[in-house]
Amino acid sequence: MRVPYQKLKAEFERVLLSIDLPLEKARQCAAIFAANSRDGVYSHGLNRFPAFVQTVKEGLFKPDAEAVMVNNLGAIEQWNGNFGLGMLNANRCMRRAIELAGEYGIGCVAIKNTNHWMRGGTYGLQAADAGFIGICFTNTIANLPPWGGLDPRLGNNPLVIAVPRKGGHILLDMAISQYSVGKLMESKSQNKRLPLPGGYDQEGNLSTDADAILQSKRMLPIGFWKGSGLSLMLDLLATLLSRGKSTSKISEHEKEWGVSQVFICLKTGTEQNERLINEILGYTKSSNPVDGEQVSYPGENMLKTRERNLLEGIPVDEEIWKRVLAM
């Protein structure tokens, strides 16, 4: 089943207004959720929307709260999200990082006491749309075991890097696990096996069964011990730069809230960028493809999915769509 982009966005806005989000905030949140599904990130679009609504109803997110700057260090600023809507806090911080980069060549905004930003790539693309390189990351509740451990002690901390390009921005938006929690939940709901092992089952065997991995809470970090180390470093940087909560403190509660995030913008300011970028991409894509595969750069398939979904409508999980329509 496919639903037009504008219809999806309108339904999201209607539901958010019904739970008393201010009009402008409802519109911004609805646009982000719809854009995520439009770009093929269904796990952080329609599929995540009912959970977001429930979280707002439970009072973990404060719709009326605004992010404020608490410390200025020149090109680096520290902000307090006051437990407001994570998507809007992230948008505000990236906007400020863009402003700082315009003034200093580089801008860094670290925020504490904020909440889930949904798709991190949203804010990388925000920087790239403004002509800047964007880098951002967040810590999370502990949901990933460190290498050599059985118990979750690391956050599945997303890392986003975006590079502006006229022919379509390059966007790396990755979880530190082989598959994000959202992707595992999506595969579970569709009763699909993962193409590659994504973690361990409760007997300690590598598995392509998303449900078994979710039950064991033993997701596989990318690059094994390297992904484990990267997750730890991202948590350290997010916590130290924002003076906010670490994964350890966030995990004291059953549900994730009050996370720490970092938004960095870089101004390159050279007309040679496009030639250099295309040179690198061209060389990468000149590799002979494996049978049935294709060489693509990060974000390339997203652009193709966006084009198709805008033309044909966005594919939706019919059960979740019915739930949204009934809200």
CA separation (Å) from 120 to 32, 58, 161, 253? 11, 23, 10, 23
**β-pairing, 154-155 with 76-80?**
unpaired
Closest among 9, 5, 245 to 112, alpha carbons compared: 245
CA-to-CA distance for 34 and 225, rounded, in angstroms?
35
**β-pairing, 142-144 with 154-155?**
antiparallel
CA separation (Å) from 150 to 86, 107, 203, 216? 30, 38, 12, 9
**Per-residue exposure over 254-281, b if at least 16 CB sit within 10 Å of its own CB, e if not:** eebbbbbbbbbbbbeeeeebeeebeeeb
Q: Locate all alpha helices (DSSP H) within the chain, ordered by sequence.
A: 5-18, 23-38, 49-58, 86-104, 121-129, 181-189, 210-216, 225-242, 247-250, 273-285, 300-312, 318-325
**Contacts for 229 with CB less than 8 Å, ≥ 6 apart:** 147
Catalytic residue among 44, 116, 169, 253: 44
CA-to-CA distance for 224 and 237, rounded, in angstroms?
21
Q: Is 116 one of the catalytic residues?
A: no
**β-pairing, 206-207 with 106-114?**
unpaired
Closest among 280, 244, 242 to 108, alpha carbons compared: 242
Task: Indicate which residues carry an active-site annotation.
Answer: 44
